[in-house]
């Protein structure tokens, strides 16, 4: 990593100076933020997997669970997310081989740092896979409601209520995850080109002014600094 590319996120206070941005941005690694982010994912992950296992038992087919697990492992485990999203983040500039931020802990950095904003294809991949991983379990359990009501003339009320409950629980877990993501993380995230980012233009400009390599890459990409 070129010393000039290292973001102010990893400079000590004496070197970076008192900028005050840490009051508005999550620009310093925090174990508290990491564990909050990690724990926030658990309800949705549990409900998503439970709903697809239930659907496998109900329908006697496991293709939905298999597809979901393959996509999730490819996205998170094989580095697709870190390529399209994280390699553009200032946290990627730490002087070492491991990424530590509020989403990842001691994760090997497979890709080179890309100071420029995410391009259209990267954003499309990210949004598509986020949407799939969030919505697919709800779609499948909604299909399960239809399957229970259409499979016989005498509806199994206990089974129907079970599918409805799982569908509602998965939907609520997803809403809870994205509410906390947007209200606590996306409004402070230094990965400014992420489609979910909600940091104000004023704060973005102030951060980029302190990080000339990133600022130059943003300007070359056509990003307008207000």
Task: Produce one character per residue of 55-75: b if its CB has 16 or more CB atoms within 10 Å, e if not.
Answer: bbebeeeeebbeebeeebeeb
Tokens representing residue 186 in the block: 């996306």
Give the three-class secondary structure for 99: strand
| Chain position carrying tokens 């979901």 | 68
CA pair distance 127, 130, nearest whole angstrom: 5
CA pair distance 113, 6, nearest whole angstrom: 10
Q: Encode the chain (226 residues) as per-residue pLDDT tens digits.
A: 666 667 787 776 544 556 778 778 988 888 999 999 999 999 999 999 999 999 998 888 899 999 999 999 999 988 899 999 999 999 999 888 999 998 998 899 999 999 999 999 999 999 999 999 999 999 999 998 888 887 765 667 788 888 999 999 999 999 999 999 999 999 999 999 999 999 999 999 999 988 999 999 999 988 877 6
Q: Which residues pair with 107 in a beta bridge?
A: 99
Q: Is the dihedral of CA 67, 43, 81, 131 positive or negative?
A: positive
At 14 the pLDDT is 44
Please tell me what DSSP assigns to residue 223: P
Q: How far from the centroid of its chain's Cα atoms is residue 23's Cα?
A: 22
Terminal Cα distance for the chain, rounded: 29
> Of 136, 129, 79, whose CA–CA distance to 107 is shortest?
79
Q: Which phi and psi angles does 213 have, rounded to 5°? A: -65, -45
> Of 141, 150, 159, whose CA–CA distance to 65 is shortest?
141
Q: Is the dihedral of CA 147, 160, 51, 184 positive or negative?
A: positive
* In contact, 193 and 208? CB cutoff 8 Å: no
Residue positions counted in the chain: 226
Tokens representing residue 106 in the block: 């001691």
Tokens representing residue 191 in the block: 């990965």
CA pair distance 133, 125, nearest whole angstrom: 12
């Amino acid at each position: 990593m070129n010393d000039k590319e290292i973001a102010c996120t990893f400079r000590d206070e004496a070197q970076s100076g008192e900028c005050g941005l840490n009051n508005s941005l999550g620009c310093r690694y925090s174990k508290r933020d990491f564990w909050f982010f990690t724990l926030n994912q658990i309800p949705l992950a549990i409900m998503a997997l439970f709903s697809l296992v239930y659907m496998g038992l109900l329908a006697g087919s496991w293709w939905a669970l298999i597809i979901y697990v393959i996509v999730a492992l490819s996205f998170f485990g094989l580095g697709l997310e870190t390529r399209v999203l994280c390699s553009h983040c200032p946290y990627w500039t730490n002087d070492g081989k491991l990424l530590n931020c509020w989403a990842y802990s001691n994760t090997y950095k497979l890709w080179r740092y890309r100071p420029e904003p995410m391009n259209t294809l990267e954003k499309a991949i990210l949004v598509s896979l986020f949407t799939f991983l969030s919505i697919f379990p709800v779609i499948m359990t909604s299909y399960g409601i239809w399957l229970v009501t259409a499979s016989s003339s005498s509806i199994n009320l206990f089974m129907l209520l079970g599918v409805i409950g799982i569908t509602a629980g998965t939907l609520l877990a997803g809403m809870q995850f994205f509410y906390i993501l947007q209200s606590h993380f996306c409004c402070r995230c230094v990965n400014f080109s992420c489609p979910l980012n909600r940091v104000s233009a004023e704060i973005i400009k102030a951060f980029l002014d302190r990080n000339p390599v990133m600022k130059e890459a943003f300007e070359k990409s056509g990003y307008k600094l207000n």
